[in-house]
Amino acid sequence: MNRLRKTISLRNLTMPLVLAVIWVSFSIANHQFLSSRNLSMLMIEMAVTATLAVGMLLVILPGHIDLSAGSGVGMIGGIASVLIFRLGWSAPPSLLASFALAVLLWAGMATLIVQCRVQAFIITLGGLLLFKGCFWLIIQSSTVPVASGGETNLYSLLTTYYFSPSVGLLCLPVIIAGMVLIKLRDRRIRSRAGLHVEDAEISTLKMFIAAQVLFLVVLVCNQYRGVPLAFAILCVVALMVHVLVKHTPIGRYLYAIGGNEEAALACGVPVRQVVVLAFSLMGGIVAITGFMQTAYAGASTTTVGELMELDAIAACVIGGASLKGGRGTVLGTLFGALVMASLLNGMTLLAAAPAIKLITRGLVLVLAVLIDVKLREE
């Protein structure tokens, strides 16, 4: 156990160093990488990847995987686009109907997994192919532009709207106060239960660093146009998932199932219901990601969502999640998503060939899995 903690601590130190190397390398290759405009674009790109990765974490914690997420992103975004821009529906009911469909589809896959006791790998692989084919049929293998003007702006605004600089500065103290209250509540509950409580000095230092990071993010965003709406959506989703996995019985069940499903079942954990709930939440997050990714692309095309499930899995593992389940945090997942988004953003800025992007993503995914295997060996 001490060796495991030592290895995890070592990674906690090396991963920020890796990110720093990535940022320094790209900034040397192209000075525009650290410009306020590009960093704002990076935040939008990260928001899309990280939102899906946070949902993937919910599935990975109980020891499952979702290979259909990328295809689902394209399909759900495509359904909403067709409803709005081809069938003439207004944006709110179109997005709501697409969201509900995603939740039902993922709940259905989870039901097959737990009822028939089939590997999630197989079911979601089938979902990948099924959703991809349905997506192409829905958009008729063509391009459905996310048009602007009138009520349809609601869709495109997901990745083009920015909060004014004053709004970001006013919301910052509220967010920090909420973080402090959640932390104090967690310490109080752990203390009453007789569990280990982190030193007050370390907790204070962590909160101070988090507050400084948030202030820096808002400051950088305000240098361009303000905090992007997409980033705000990510913060809301990440906060909700963090509260779920760290401060509710459902979160404890997710970790318990991933640690030892048979032991969790013997202790009275409703394994089937929890897994179905995790996949259902994943479906809702896939829908949100689909809306943002389609809006960011400016159109629903056959390539929207392609390989995004791999980026999400890599972000989770880079952030400390175990593919065997039972380990992972929202904060670590966000960090992993930042690494992936930084690589893609930097390569795009340098006009790297699509082949190079694919090779890099593949290498990062392999490296992430090797890190996971190394931690388990320790």
Question: Is a pLDDT exceeding 50 seen at residue 80?
Answer: yes
Report percent pLDDT > 90 for the chain.
46
Name the more confident of 295 and 155: 295
Question: Is a pLDDT exceeding 60 seen at residue 97?
Answer: yes
Distances (CA, A) of 155 to 79, 96, 152, 161: 12, 12, 6, 10
Helices then strands, counting H and E runs in the chain, come out as: 15, 2
pLDDT tens profile 273-306: 999 999 999 999 999 999 999 999 888 999 999 8
Helix (H) / strand (E) containing 60: helix 36-60
Residue whose pair of structure tokens reads 């405009």 in the numeric block = 37
**Cα distance between residue 214 and residue 194, in whole Å:** 32
pLDDT tens profile 199-226: 778 778 878 888 888 888 888 888 888 8
**Cα distance between residue 218 and residue 208, in whole Å:** 15
Mean pLDDT of 83-110: 93
pLDDT confidence tier of residue 129, bands split at 50, 70 and 90: very high
Query: End-to-end distance of the chain based on CA atoms, in angstroms?
Result: 8
**Cα distance between residue 277 and residue 245, in whole Å:** 12
pLDDT at residue 91, as a whole number: 85
Given the DSSP bridges, would you call strands 144-145 and 299-300 parallel, antiparallel or unpaired? Answer: antiparallel
Question: Is a pLDDT exceeding 70 seen at residue 9?
Answer: no
pLDDT tens profile 255-281: 999 999 889 988 889 999 999 999 999
Question: Is a pLDDT exceeding 80 seen at residue 29?
Answer: yes
161: helix, strand or coil: coil
Domains of the chain: 2-160+271-377 (1.10.3470)
